[in-house]
Amino acid sequence: MSLLLLFASPPIPALPANQQLKIYGKPINHRHLKSSRVSATRDDVDAFTEKSSYLFKLSSTDADSIVEYDLRKIASVYRRKPLILLRRVFQVGTTFGWWFGSRFVDELMERSDQMFPVRAAELRKILVELGPAYVKIAQAVSSRPDLIPPSYLDELSLLQDQITPFSSEVAFNTIEQELGLPIDELFSEISPEPVAAASLGQVYQARLRQSGRVVAVKVQRPGVQAAISLDIFILHFIAGLIRKARKFNTDLQELDYKIEAKNGLKFRQLYGGIQDVLIPEMYVEQTTRKVLIMEWVEGQKLSEVKDLYLIEVGVYCSFNQLLEKGFYHADPHPGNLFRSYDGKLAYIDFGMMGEFKEELREGFIEACLHLVNRDFDALAKDFVTLGLLPPTAEKEAVTKALTGVFQNAVAKGVRNISFGDLLGNLGATMYKFKFRIPSYFSLVIRSLAVLEGIAISSNPNYKVLGSTYPYIARKVLTDSSPQLKSSLVALLYKEGVFRIDRLESLLTESLRARTEKALIKKQTEDTDSRLITKEILSFTLTEKGAFVREILLQEFAKGLDALGIATLDYFTSAVIPFAAPFSFSSLTEEDRINLTNLRRLLLLLSRVQSSKSASVEVKEGSIYKNQTTYSEEASLVFYQLASAQEVLPILSVIPELPPELQQEFLHLPADLAGRLISRAAARTIRRMFL
């Protein structure tokens, strides 16, 4: 169920606890309340209960036997109730038959496009009337472009499962039966009507008698477990959706509030310490399978307030779930995210949670890296790792398709990539090629799409992938995983050639969030360039940056070695002109590339403006394409030597670093010198004997 706490409702007044139950301050005779529940009725019964109440006829023994999705146990229950089974099959079949028949007539009359909005609205109404199982299925497939034509995805994503509440008298009776105490001994106050209702249950606001704390009391809708188990049992045979979606075991777990309470407790332990994130406390000891008691949170739906900061908090928390811990919120629709009145992002409703295995987390990171860097061949392999494609898929065709889908979108730059656009484009391709999306991945996609959708309502230019890429970049630069280290090396080197532009992108993006936050809050008087230089140095000198530091030292050694050879060539040509043709130290193509990388490394650390860097690219490009003379090589060398002035901004920030990092910096020259000596010795031996 979607736990939609409508916080606009007035809070329970602070009244002293006593032995008389109060509903919004009015004393209620408990004996009268209890006796009135039997005859209480409601005129505003929801469509599902009105049409399908016969599904609720299960004994407590039968109900207990289908707490978890077990096809054998469910079959044994409904084998004894063939009339209920046949009646439900007839009801579902005729309902969908009418809708598909209408669509068929539209096609025959060539009015499908004209009638699409009408049929879409009818479909949403049908799903709600058929009950929570179909609502949950529709919500699940709304992020499954491999199962549903793209034209229907937007319509299904709008589906809400809010329905008319059931009787409060029935709810209060359920609370007493489940907790084994009269309601006035449990609570000193409780709201007379639910503050929110959905297909699986409804929520009341109450005050615990013992502690006086205000809580949310979630009560399961009577008979809903029997109805969902029967519908899933039927769908298993008539549609095969269970085998494709593979998420209904989770849906049945959502009916056990004890599991939800444990999920909430774990979620609070893992992510409750994140700044400006609020996870309500769970009262596990006072929770049963049908009644959940949790801390009440005052606030508003995040989708109803314009707070981009909390969107960023949500993005950070989501990627912490997906990339760090692997335990993530699997039902992240807008109704489950709130802005508390003290300005925090509150998560509620923990009935559906997911586990993201480490190998899948790493595969997801690699896919994001390859997407941003337009390495679509590697992206196709990532799709196999993530289970989106079978190992037997034709990689060339997939690469071509992905290039067509993503090329234009990614060319705009990582900060301008719209996750919604990517998802829409990919959806059409996946449906065409019959790709498959594992349930865990569809929930990840849905989580990111929800966050971007909420943000766009406040800022149309917001891009969730651009906001999250700094976390991805920092993860791949700092993680100790051998797989991610290997991926980083593969990303930075192609056929042995160092691609410094990719390292520059990763470093600047990984530090962007921190530097922008510091500048916005005016925590420093540094310029943007100076601050980034300081952050890059700080990062590479720490233990987490050790792997990147090794790469940088290796490339600096290559560049300085080539610089030395070029300098020797220049002076040899200048002092002994006739000796130039016999020089044994002429620059190779690799040396010229290393010189270029040295120049760009200095630019990276000193943060010289890109316009100056571009002029360098033009000069260097001519040398890459043509065999150069010694005078041209000498000009390049002196140009590189002149760039040594750019080291001064780097050195100027050293005194501002923490003492331990300054000490680490002092070790770098000796390390670099050792690498240079090793390269020079290897070069000499190679030229002498090869």
- Give residue-wise pLDDT tens across range 499-510: 888 888 888 777
Amino acid at 464: V
Exposure b/e, 538-563, CB count within 10 A at least 16 = b: bbbbbeebebbbebbbebbbbbbbbb
Comparing 560 with 526, which gets the higher pLDDT? 560
Exposure b/e, 142-152, CB count within 10 A at least 16 = b: bbbbbbbebeb
Cα 41 to Cα 475: distance, rounded to the nearest angstrom: 57
- Give residue-wise pLDDT tens across range 312-340: 888 888 888 888 888 988 776 677 889 99
- Give residue-wise pLDDT tens across range 649-668: 667 778 888 888 888 888 88
Which residues in 385-532 belong to E strands, given as ranges? 493-494, 497-498
Q: Is residue 536 pLDDT above 60, yes or no?
A: yes
Confidence band for 8, pLDDT divided at 50, 70 and 90 = very low
Is the Cβ–Cβ distance between 634 and 566 less than 8 Å? yes
Cα 277 to Cα 479: distance, rounded to the nearest angstrom: 24
Cα 641 to Cα 416: distance, rounded to the nearest angstrom: 37
Q: Tokens in use for 215?
A: 């809580």
Which of 119, 97, 140, 383 lies closest to 241, judged by CA? 140
Which of 151, 153, 99 lies closest to 125, judged by CA? 99
The CB density around residue 351, as the number of other CB atoms within 10 Å, is 26
What pLDDT sits at residue 279? 95
- 256: phi > 0 → left, psi -120 to 50 → alpha, else beta; which? beta
- Give residue-wise pLDDT tens across range 559-568: 888 888 877 7
What pLDDT sits at residue 502? 86
Confidence band for 245, pLDDT divided at 50, 70 and 90 = very low
Percent of residues, the chain, with pLDDT higher than 90: 17
Please report, for residues 162, 232, 429, the alpha-carbon distance to residue 149 in angstroms, rounded to integers and kept in the order given. 25, 22, 10
Amino acid at 167: S
User: DSSP class of residue 282?
Assistant: B
Cα 222 to Cα 255: distance, rounded to the nearest angstrom: 11
Cα 449 to Cα 457: distance, rounded to the nearest angstrom: 13
- Do strands 214-220 and 196-197 pair parallel, antiparallel, or not at all (unpaired)? unpaired
Cα 401 to Cα 395: distance, rounded to the nearest angstrom: 10
Lowest mean pLDDT among 31-40, 331-340, 382-391: 31-40
What pLDDT sits at residue 609? 40
- Do strands 327-329 and 353-355 pair parallel, antiparallel, or not at all (unpaired)? antiparallel
Is the Cβ–Cβ distance between 341 and 8 less than 8 Å? no
| pTM confidence score | 0.73
- CA 85 to chain centroid: 40
What pLDDT sits at residue 254? 66
Comparing 608 with 74, which gets the higher pLDDT? 74
Residue from 62, 231, 256, 331 carrying the catalytic annotation: 331
Cα 655 to Cα 50: distance, rounded to the nearest angstrom: 75
Comparing 142 with 567, which gets the higher pLDDT? 567
Confidence band for 5, pLDDT divided at 50, 70 and 90 = very low
Quickly list H helices, 337-434. Answer: 358-372, 376-385, 395-411, 419-433
Q: Is residue 637 pLDDT above 70, yes or no?
A: no
Please report, for residues 88, 108, 154, 574, the alpha-carbon distance to residue 121 in angstroms, rounded to integers and kept in the order given. 23, 20, 12, 83
Question: What value does the mean pLDDT take over residues 206-225?
Answer: 92
Cα 532 to Cα 604: distance, rounded to the nearest angstrom: 9
Question: What value does the mean pLDDT take over residues 298-323?
Answer: 85
Cα 150 to Cα 343: distance, rounded to the nearest angstrom: 37
Mean pLDDT comparison of 65-74, 151-160, 614-623, highest-scoring range:
65-74
Element (H, E) at 294: strand 291-295
What pLDDT sits at residue 403? 82
User: DSSP class of residue 416?
Assistant: G
How many degrees, rounded to 5, is the angle at CA 644 between CA 478 and CA 488? 20
What pLDDT sits at residue 566? 78
Is the Cβ–Cβ distance between 292 and 174 less than 8 Å? no
Amino acid at 553: L
- 407: phi > 0 → left, psi -120 to 50 → alpha, else beta; which? alpha
- Give residue-wise pLDDT tens across range 143-195: 555 556 656 666 666 665 556 788 899 999 999 999 999 999 999 999 999 99
Query: Is residue 591 flagged as an active site residue?
Result: no
- Give residue-wise pLDDT tens across range 421-480: 666 666 666 666 666 777 677 677 777 777 777 777 777 777 777 777 888 888 888 888
Comparing 241 with 124, which gets the higher pLDDT? 124
List phi, psi (to 5°) of 208. Answer: -65, 135
Q: Tokens in use for 286?
A: 């006072």
Q: Is residue 619 pLDDT above 60, yes or no?
A: no
What pLDDT sits at residue 294? 96
> Mean pLDDT in the chain?
75
Is the Cβ–Cβ distance between 640 and 563 less than 8 Å? yes
Amino acid at 91: Q
Q: Tokens in use for 459?
A: 């800022």
- 369: phi > 0 → left, psi -120 to 50 → alpha, else beta; which? alpha
Cα 366 to Cα 389: distance, rounded to the nearest angstrom: 16
Element (H, E) at 27: strand 26-27
What pLDDT sits at residue 621? 41
Placement of tokens 């499962």 in the chain = 161
Please report, for residues 118, 157, 482, the alpha-carbon distance to residue 282 in angstroms, rounded to integers and kept in the order given. 43, 29, 38
Please report, for residues 327, 357, 640, the alpha-carbon distance to residue 320 in angstroms, rounded to integers and kept in the order given. 9, 13, 42
Cα 688 to Cα 525: distance, rounded to the nearest angstrom: 55
| Residues 6 or more apart whose Cβ sits within 8 Å of residue 67 | 225, 252, 255, 256, 289
Count CA atoms within 13 Å of residue 283 on its CB side: 21
Is the Cβ–Cβ distance between 333 and 375 less than 8 Å? no
Cα 502 to Cα 559: distance, rounded to the nearest angstrom: 17
